[in-house]
Structures are given as structure tokens and as C-alpha cells.
Amino acid sequence: VLSGCGVYDGTEIHEASAVLVHLSRGGAEVHMYAPDVPQMHVIDHSKGQPAEAESRNVLVESARIARGKIASLAKLTTADHDAVIFPGGFGAAKNLSTFAVDGKDCKVNREVERVLKDFHKAGKPIGLCCISPVLAAKVLSGAEVTVGHEEEEGGKWPYAGTAGAIKELGAKHCVKEAAFASVVFSLTPFYEAHVDTKNKVVTTPAFMCETALHHIFDGIGAMVKNVLKLTGK
């Protein structure tokens, strides 16, 4: 499920690409969706500032990432899918919800809320990364999620305050960080994914941390791998 195209007003493109690569490697058949609604606003990514005279549609912008193969989120059903994954980017907090403006008092797009509740009720896994775990925290009471660390630590975790908001939403925040895993004669760094086995919610910090791109790619891989494992297929 995408939220536009571009980190500051839509889907974080590197995260979406990482999700797609890992799903492809895992042999999954993928369908992409986005809500057919206006973006909260448009950001000029070269300046990091709002483009006051512009307006864009979330579905139309998401189609850039999907190479045109995308449908309205209203068409997404649990009957046709084994799992659902939400990449991050500010679009999750601006277009899929109002978290960027309202924090713990945010509202979630009604189709996003429907999808989360439907997959949860059906016992089908939900994957989220970066800021998107706030969606599960808001909609799924008592869910366990991670957005990384709970302190900024000198700028390494610039969005650490999100963990506090997640707790205020009634969810449990689980601290995750860079770790080392033994992989046949070498040590490969990766970002951990947290698996809430009860709710079948899998989350990973991704760009919530200031770190190398390949670490983020590997962390998203851990999330995707666990989502696919929870499908039982």
C-alpha cells in the first residue's frame, strides 16, 4: 500500500523498492494499491519546502513507483491476498493518516483502517516499516511495533519521539537496533524486525535511523521475510 511518491509527502521510494525486491526474491506475487485522495500537500524535495501552488493525487503519484500497475485501495480485499505491507515515508503520516499534524489524536484514512482491521480479523500478516507502524498502533489495540529507539542519541534516531506517541496510542513499543548476525564465515549488519506473533504485525525501523542504505535494505528484508513466513506458504 503506497502513499504517494517521495519521502517528504508520499512513500519513501527506497523503502518501497526494497520491499518489492525482497518480495520478488521471496517468490511473492505483488499487487499495489493507494487511496484515491488528494495529498495533504506537495513538497519541493530539492528545497524541503511546500510547493504552495501545487496539488497532487496519492493514487496518481503512487503509480510512478508501481510503473502504472496500481489500483485504488478501495479494491483491496483480504480474500485476494495473503498479507499486506505498508512502506514508510511521510505520506503514511500525512496521506494515510493525520499523524504528522495530530500525533496521538490522529485519524486514519477510512480505507487504510478497513484494510488493517480486515487483515487482522482474517489472521493475515501485516508488515510496516519506518513511520507506518503508527497506523497499526492507532487501529489495532494493543499491537506491538517498533520504530527503533526511544532516544535521539545525538541525531542517530531523529524521530525517536514517535515511540512515545505509539505508547500514548495504546500500543507497545519495542526497541530495535542494528545488530550482527552470523552468515557463513562473515558478519552481516542488519536492522531487526519485531514480530508481534499474536497480532501477526511485523515492523522494522528503516529510515527512522540515520544509517547506511544497505542496512535499511537488510532490515526491510527481515520484515518481508517474517511477513512471508507468517503466511504459512
**How is 93-137 classified by DSSP, letter by letter?**
HHTSBSHHHHGGG--B-HHHHHHHHHHHHTT--EEEETTTHHHHH
Query: CA-CA distance, 17 to 92, in Å (whole number)?
Result: 16
* Sequence-ordered alpha helix ranges (H) in the chain: 13-25, 58-65, 91-94, 99-102, 110-121, 133-139, 161-168, 213-231
Q: 495529498: which residue's cell?
A: 39
| Three-class secondary structure of residue 52 per DSSP | coil
* Catalytic-labelled residue, pool 129, 130, 174, 209: 130
130 is catalytic: yes
Query: CA-CA distance, 85 to 78, in Å (whole number)?
Result: 12
Name the residues annotated as catalytic: 130
